[in-house]
Structure 1
């Protein structure tokens, strides 16, 4: 009797590389004395564009924290138009309008 040979081919187990998310752009609308949405979650490398739809009053988008561990951003005072910032560091970024300090928002970068 001939001995039967058992041959097993196994595919090597390799980890699949993580698929990078393309950098995305999000919009925050500045209207009616508010940022909409007021809180936004994004990934590192994403860009946030503030659309100053409220042309009846000047506004700004200004980070309220500064330092080497935070991306600092400041649109300056604007009436109409857009301002964009790309977030390259994870963290929580509160911001406000320097003209109307009761207007505030937060970008959470994870």
Structure 2
């Protein structure tokens, strides 16, 4: 009987020691959290409607793809202001142009038949 009581106290003592060893009071917990970063490439849809690109400016990660879809009543292009990163053919109504941006930078573009239509892709 006494041996049983001693064993019970020994087990309770071990449990108590283990609990205190692994227990961390709330005030001492490490609350530093890593900020998740979105490094995944995505696909962004841009509409051409009412003689405008919508959205006019987009920000994406390198490796992302942009799809421009012409929902306007006339044909349009997606043409780089400088260089030849963007150079679509004339997009008919419901036509689409797809481009994947692998380089970081800012890419300004316009519609050749309607130069007042402007857009920007910022690649981070």
TM-score bracket, normalised by the shorter chain, equals 0.7 to 0.9
More helix as a share of residues: 2
Is 1:53–2:53 an aligned residue pair?
no
| Structure 1 unmatched ranges of 5 or more | 1-17
- State the Cα deviation string for residues 9-51 of structure 1 (Å, max 9, x = none): xxxxxxxxx9873321001100000000000000100000001
In 1, Cα distance between equivalents of 2:87 and 2:101: 13
Query: In structure 2, how many angstroms separate the alpha carbons of the residues matched to 1:28 and 1:91?
Result: 19
| 5+ residue gaps, structure 2 | 1-35
* TM-align CA RMSD: 1.7
TM (norm. structure 2) is 0.66
1:89 paired residue number: 103
Bigger relative contact order (CA 8 A; separation at least 6): 1
71, 76, 80: which one aligns with 1:63: 80
Tell me the equivalent position of 1:102: 116
Give 1:13's aligned residue.
none
With over 3 angstroms needed to count, the CA separation of the structure-2 counterparts of 1:19 and 1:101, relative to structure 1, is closer
Return closer, same or farther for 1:19/1:109 CA change in 2, 3 Å cut-off: closer
Alignment of 1:6-85 (within 5 A): 21-54=39-72, 56-66=73-83, 72-80=85-93, 81-85=95-99
Q: How many aligned positions are there?
A: 88
